[in-house]
Amino acid sequence: MTDIERVGVIGCGLMGAGIAEVCARAGLPVTVVERDAQAARSGRLRVTRSLDRAAAHGRIDAGAREAAAALITVTDQLEALHDRDLVVEAVAEDERLKLDVFTRLDPVVTGEHTVLATNTSSIPVIRLATATSRPERVVGVHFFNPVPVLRLVELVPSLLTSPTTTARAQTFVTGTLGKEVVRTRDKAGFVVNALLVPYLLAAVRMVESGSASVEDIDRGMVLGCAHPLGPLALTDLIGLDTTRAIAESLYTEFREPQYAPPPLLSRMVEAGLLGRKSGRGFHTYDER
């Protein structure tokens, strides 16, 4: 187990809600902060629906579902995080937004040993850590969507993260949450996205050039390579806006053509075709 007993999460979208859920299912009280009261209500509903699905599919029983729900508080007050042992930032993959969160969080969390974590999937952790007065206690803890289902977490210490912070974060992820950790250096994209995103972008370029249809590209990778999802369906699941943001972060750091977002991806984001979250991306989804 770990000395982390009270958890805070900033952001209650898909990732934040998932992180809050797995922490509550591990028996920890969780305070989630959203930008306003309406977003807090929506976030609470997102967590509740996910717990309902888990119970309906037999992954947890009714008692565990009720216990987890009772441990989660969703608010729009950042000050509610003042007594947390661990705070995980899980807002949108936008560097300016994340920097603002860490700048505002720094004076709020007063605990001498509180770990500040970011769920960023591509932004170098050191950039966020230096927005605080305690960069030695900032670490990357990157979960994967859907958080309650996927077991992997990338652990990303920056050049200034203390060994104690890294060890506490790893013990929490493995001992308390029961997930698997891979450690990676603090480089844009880390391990998974540095490998995955060029593959997704290559599929987008195939559509853009007319080499093959969306359906045939996805079918080819599912049937030919035994992938559970084709690359374009996976891009829809991740979100086209998130995929573009990760690609831009990778391209900014490495300046390699394979990381450059294709024009088609950018046009679709500008049109609001974001994938599953908007009901339409490379595929169309039932709003239900």
- What confidence tens digit (pLDDT) does each residue in 13-58 have? 999 999 999 999 999 999 999 999 999 999 999 999 999 999 999 9
248 is catalytic: no
**Dist CA 183 CA 166 (whole Å):** 10
> Of 21, 34, 93, 154, which residue is the catalytic one?
154
Distant-in-sequence, close-in-space partners of 247: CB < 8 Å, separation ≥ 6: 197, 201, 259, 260, 261, 265
Distance CA 204, CA 209 (A): 9
Whether residue 2 has pLDDT greater than 80: no
Do 203 and 159 reside in the same domain of the chain? no
Per the domain annotation, does 229 fall within a domain? Answer: yes
For residue 200, the domain's CATH number is 1.10.1040.10
Phi, psi of 10 (to 5 degrees): -110, 115
Q: Which domain holds residue 220?
A: 193-278
Q: Is 142 a catalytic residue?
A: yes
pLDDT one-digit tens code per residue, 118-174: 999 999 999 999 999 999 999 999 999 899 999 999 999 999 999 999 999 999 999
Residue 287, domain member (yes or no) = no
Cα separation, 125 vs 200, in Å, equals 23
The answer to the question of residue 145 being in a domain is yes
pLDDT at 66 over 80: yes
Last residue of a domain, one of 127, 151, 183: 183
- Both 255 and 128 in a single domain? no
Same domain, 174 and 110: yes
Catalytic pick among 21, 50, 119, 121: 121
Domain membership of residue 76 (yes or no) is yes
CB distance 262 to 205 below 8 Å = yes
pLDDT on residue 110? 84
Residues 147 and 203 in one domain: no
Domain boundary (153, 183, 213) is at 183
Q: What is the pLDDT of residue 287?
A: 60
pLDDT at 1: 46
> Annotated catalytic residue: which of 50, 122, 158, 193?
193
Is residue 40, in this structure, part of any structural domain at all? yes
Residue 61 lies in a domain: yes
Residue 288: pLDDT band (50, 70, 90) is low
Q: What is the pTM of this model?
A: 0.90
Q: Is 154 a known active-site residue? A: yes
Query: How many domains is the chain built from?
Result: 2
Do 29 and 103 lie in one domain? The reply is yes
How far is residue 193's CA from residue 187's CA, in Å, rounded to a whole number? 11
* 175 shares a domain with 199: no
Query: Tell me, what CATH number does 49's domain have?
Result: 3.40.50.720
Give me the pLDDT at residue 282, please: 98
With pLDDT > 90 as the criterion, what percentage of the chain qualifies? 96
Alpha-carbon span 159 to 209, nearest angstrom? 41
Question: 200 and 229: one domain?
Answer: yes
Does residue 235 sit in the same domain as residue 216? yes
209 catalytic per annotation: no
Distance, CA of 68 to CA of 51 (rounded, Å): 8
Give residue-wise pLDDT tens across range 93-117. Answer: 999 999 999 999 999 998 889 999 9
User: Which of 183, 212, 247 is the last residue before a domain boundary?
Assistant: 183
The answer to whether residues 149 and 23 belong to one domain is: yes
Residues 226-237, mean pLDDT to the nearest whole number: 97
Instruction: Say if residue 64's pLDDT is above 90.
Output: yes
The predicted model gives 227-251 an average pLDDT of 96
Residues 172 and 29 in one domain: yes
State the catalytic residue, choosing from 34, 89, 119, 142.
142
Q: Does 247 lie in the same domain as 167?
A: no
pLDDT band for 69, please (50, 70, 90 cuts). very high
Alpha helices (H) in 190-279, listed in sequence order: 192-209, 214-225, 231-238, 240-254, 263-270
